[in-house]
Amino acid sequence: MNRRVSEPQAVATAGRDYKAGPTQPSGPRPRADAVRNRERILAAARQVFVERGPKAPLDEIARRAGVGNATLYRHFRERRSLLHAVLLSVVSRLADQVERVAAENTDALTALERFLHDAVDERLGALCGLLLDKCGQFPTELSAQYARVEAAACRLMDIARRDGRIRADIGFQDVLVAMSLLARPLPGTDHHLADVHRRLQLLLNGLRLPAREWAETAPALASPDRAQPDECS
């Protein structure tokens, strides 16, 4: 059953107190070539971190970005600042995207699926292990942008659950973990985004109702001392 436009649109207010993207430092505006170099470094770093993890060689990132090591270090003096910038750029864009698709779609499940496929394109699945592990250790700006994503996605899941569209025994953190497992390249295999999108859709199809709930399919695992799915609301 479709909801009125106003309900999914309410998701867009989840992060209204936060800025839409990374805060730019005050002072003189950077030169256009410096801005381009920074964007190229971030794009290359995202790809290299996806492929080789957070300890990937920084000179490989510089090589793929087409800049010298000195240029990379001029923008990012340490690995931690580069990791933070990559995650912040990805999560900020996704925060805007999830709020936009929620406003554009009257059906919460459709909006959720569109957002998750957008997240695959942003390589969130391959980065979310790092994000979930490090988010609390980074400056509050990253935590704030992640809170926008989580609040909006959880709101969509809550609406879809109330509509009887998806299972009640899965939470947003479950979806993130599953995306991480689906999106990480396996050693020695070709890795294509199209395959990740296909596997993600298989996962999303499994969330739809009618389907047997987790407690029904594995009652022995549903005891009170076992971890239960996280709640969004």
Residue 16 falls within a domain, yes or no?
Answer: no
Q: Which of 70-84, 121-135, 183-197 is modeled with the greatest confidence?
A: 70-84
CATH number at 62 reads: 1.10.10.60
Q: Which residue has the tokens 């980065």?
A: 127
Residue 217 in tokens = 């399919």
Six-digit token string for 225: 């001392």
- Judgement on whether residues 104 and 184 belong to the same structural domain of the protein: yes
* Alpha carbons 36 and 42: distance in angstroms, whole number: 10
Domain shared by 183 and 121, yes or no: yes
Using the predicted structure, report yes or no on whether residue 126 has a pLDDT greater than 80: no
Query: Mean pLDDT across the stretch 117-145?
Result: 74
Does residue 129 share a domain with residue 42? no
Same domain, 86 and 65: no
Distance, in Å, from the CA atom of 48 to the CA atom of 143, rounded to the nearest integer, reads: 23
Does the structure show a pLDDT above 60 at 217? no
Q: Which secondary structure element, helix H or strand E, spans residue 207, and what is its range?
A: helix 193-207
State whether 92 and 205 are in the same domain: yes
> pTM for the whole thing?
0.69
Mean pLDDT of the region 174-189: 75
pLDDT greater than 90 at residue 61: yes
Q: What pLDDT sits at residue 129?
A: 64
Total domains in the fold of the chain: 2
* End-to-end Cα distance, the chain: 21
Residue 124 scores a pLDDT above 60: yes
Q: What is the pLDDT of residue 21?
A: 42
Strand partners, 166: 208
pLDDT of amino acid 188: 61
CATH at residue 128: 1.10.357.10
